[in-house]
Chains A and B, each alone.
Chain A
């Protein structure tokens, strides 16, 4: 079977193509996705291959894109909509929250909404204002919506296929900072990866590192540094941030007794907070140190010249891990974070 070294954005394209070949009800829509192939080229070549009826360049209107996806989905199509940047999803929010996420529930299963909304998100590429936030937690808070975030080409391919085949709405967030930084062998075998499941990327006994999206990249680098010093690190990619697979995280942390959660998003009310709360609820007796969160700040992403002030670094993660590994010390445990 055809296997090629692909970047994550190429893996997205491959999955879209596979889904369209396998299922004629899959249609793509969005701004600049047809002739231009999307501003990140995620739909490159698909309009040429499948035609304008299945790859629709829409007028510039996010509320309409989400709303028409709802209507299409209720009638047996499988719309995969692209929101050009996650920062422009807010006009679509009403449609996502008030309709896509509750169609099944409020019609007691008579209608449902098998749609996918894809959006590149996150900072670190020096894009203009509004192009760089990580607001995944806003959507994870919405009942009835799956929120899925790949962090490698293989997971992008497999998770996107599963998202498209899923009978319910999925927000598929693509961390654009890692769109092109690694290549991986991706086989176009048409098999999806499971949703609602964390992926354990490395196994270890001393500490559990939990992350998702682009921050996974720094998290893995931090894990490598710690491993070089003899620390045994378990690394978990959450992947589906809602609904959360706490079983995987709990069983890991119950074993290691220590956990650091890394998110690029603002600190207040994020997914790291949710995971931390669930660990406190269900694994308190197993914790050997307080759970640490390494996060962004409670502000918008600074304009590009100062983005690096905001983003969690490998050093930040390593520092948090060191503090976690120190505890309990002879003196009273003092949190590494002052906030």
Chain B
């Protein structure tokens, strides 16, 4: 747990071959493991579907989370209803477990703000964050709010490995440690920031060790082991909720596909590295382990795949059926009350799109 500055040590229960490295924590039941497995399989199916939609022009630029499902599921299962999640943009699995629907996730990446109308556990959570690392400081602020009201909850923020190079990252960690904030920061270390490998991002041997300079605990976990991710995040959240301060967790995983659908990773990385990473991916190892425990069989697998397909297909159908926004909708949420200039711009917009009820691009495909 404390070897945060050694590259090849991390927290791991199930290794890449699906073998126990350590006995599982006592709170991990077979039911829990089967549920975690289902969630990961569902998110992978969603991911595959959304990429396919993008390829056929029914989706905009999308950042796949292929290979990083254990991180999102581990976090999602550890978070409690009243904790606050501050996501970046590759958190499909956690969003889903917070109650954001698959349709809403598609809606966001399909280019529609209404996908951010989070309900369920996510109703106080922040929206997706695209300007890298800026969410870290928001999360510190969320933690300040929780602490100032003595709420027994924690804030949890995610970011990528590239994000650790930005000032915002260090600034947030510094404050969190200094003010002893109820904040858990999880780095999805998928080894790449678009085309920049981690070795060109930092000379530090691990990202978890960045906690040391800030003055907080740093933990390095195998991000492909859902048990390890869950266990580390769960402990860190419990610590934060009980007023014992912040934790930085580096979850080591791998981005198995392009950065987004707009990227072509073959330009800058060796396919051999990707193939090797497939040997360590999170779903296979848990499946292997469950099989070995006789806790999962081919019939269950078939039934799961069928259920997942039905769920994703229904979400896609709902996504594709969403009507567009009215032409003046984007003007109505800028301030609590419409300003005079915006009211005038709204009138202008209504005239401008009156002829085609605001649903068509007046220029055709631009």
What residues of chain A have their CB less than 8 Å away from a CB belonging to chain B?
Answer: 31-32, 34-37, 39, 57, 59-64, 87-88, 90-91, 124, 126-131, 267-268, 297-299, 302-311, 313-316, 337-339
A91 to B137, alpha carbons, bound, how many Å? 13
Quick check: which of B219-227, B228-236, B348-356 contacts chain A, the rest being far away? Answer: B348-356
B262–A39 CB distance below 8 A: yes
A127–B194 CB distance below 8 A: no
B194–A306 CB distance below 8 A: no
In the complex, the chain B residue whose C-beta lies closest to that of A63 is B167
A305–B111 CB distance below 8 A: yes
Interface membership of B200, Cβ < 8 A: yes
In the complex, the chain A residue whose C-beta lies closest to that of B168 is A91
State the Cβ distance, B60 to closest chain A Cβ, in Å: 5
State the Cβ distance, B172 to closest chain A Cβ, in Å: 14
In the complex, the chain A residue whose C-beta lies closest to that of B334 is A299
Q: A36-B194, A88-B132 are in contact. Are A305 and B165 (CB under 8 A)?
A: no
In the complex, the chain B residue whose C-beta lies closest to that of A123 is B366
A32–B112 CB distance below 8 A: no
B interface bracket (residues with beta carbon within 8 Å of A): 35 or more
A316–B352 CB distance below 8 A: yes
Interface membership of B327, Cβ < 8 A: yes
Q: A298-B345, A313-B363 are in contact. Are A128 and B195 (CB under 8 A)?
A: no
B residues in contact with A64, CB < 8 Å: 165, 167
B200–A306 CB distance below 8 A: no
B residues in contact with A88, CB < 8 Å: 131-132
Interface membership of B163, Cβ < 8 A: yes
B residues in contact with A124, CB < 8 Å: 366
| Mask of B135-165 contacts with A, CB within 8 angstroms, 1/0 | 0000000000000000000000000001101
A residues in contact with B132, CB < 8 Å: 60, 88
Q: A60-B165, A303-B113 are in contact. Are A315 and B362 (CB under 8 A)?
A: yes
B330–A60 CB distance below 8 A: no
Q: Closest 5 A-B residue pairs measured CB to CB?
A: A304-B111, A339-B344, A36-B195, A305-B111, A59-B165
Interface membership of B202, Cβ < 8 A: yes
B residues in contact with A126, CB < 8 Å: 60-61, 111
| Mask of B327-366 contacts with A, CB within 8 angstroms, 1/0 | 1111100100000011011011101110000100111001
A residues in contact with B111, CB < 8 Å: 126, 128, 303-307
Interface membership of B130, Cβ < 8 A: yes
B residues in contact with A299, CB < 8 Å: 330-331, 334, 342
B201–A297 CB distance below 8 A: no
A129–B130 CB distance below 8 A: yes
A308–B366 CB distance below 8 A: yes
Q: Which of A39, A60, A63, A124 has the most CB of B within 10 A?
A: A60
B residues in contact with A302, CB < 8 Å: 113, 325, 330
Which listed residue (B131, B327, B361) contacts A130, Cβ 8 A? B131
B residues in contact with A313, CB < 8 Å: 362-363
A61–B267 CB distance below 8 A: no
A residues in contact with B193, CB < 8 Å: 31, 60
A residues in contact with B162, CB < 8 Å: 59-60
State the Cβ distance, B112 to closest chain A Cβ, in Å: 5
Interface membership of B124, Cβ < 8 A: no
Q: A297-B330, A298-B341 are in contact. Are A60 and B201 (CB under 8 A)?
A: yes
State the Cβ distance, B154 to closest chain A Cβ, in Å: 27
Interface membership of B196, Cβ < 8 A: yes
Q: A59-B201, A309-B330 are in contact. Are A297 and B345 (CB under 8 A)?
A: yes
Chosen A-B contacts, 6 in total, with CB atoms closer than 8 Å, are A59-B162, A60-B133, A126-B60, A131-B130, A309-B330, A339-B347
B194–A91 CB distance below 8 A: no
Q: A299-B334, A308-B363 are in contact. Are A267 and B130 (CB under 8 A)?
A: no
State the Cβ distance, B251 to closest chain A Cβ, in Å: 18
State the Cβ distance, A181 to closest chain B Cβ, in Å: 10
B202–A59 CB distance below 8 A: yes
B267–A297 CB distance below 8 A: no
In the complex, the chain A residue whose C-beta lies closest to that of B353 is A309
A61–B366 CB distance below 8 A: no
A residues in contact with B327, CB < 8 Å: 306, 309
State the Cβ distance, A33 to closest chain B Cβ, in Å: 9
State the Cβ distance, A58 to closest chain B Cβ, in Å: 8
A268–B347 CB distance below 8 A: no
A306–B167 CB distance below 8 A: no
A130–B130 CB distance below 8 A: yes
Other contacts beyond A39-B262, A91-B166, A306-B111: 19, CB < 8 A: A32-B194, A35-B267, A57-B196, A60-B133, A60-B165, A60-B193, A64-B165, A127-B262, A130-B130, A298-B345, A299-B331, A303-B111, A306-B324, A307-B111, A309-B328, A313-B363, A337-B348, A338-B344, A339-B345
State the Cβ distance, B216 to closest chain A Cβ, in Å: 21
B268–A60 CB distance below 8 A: no
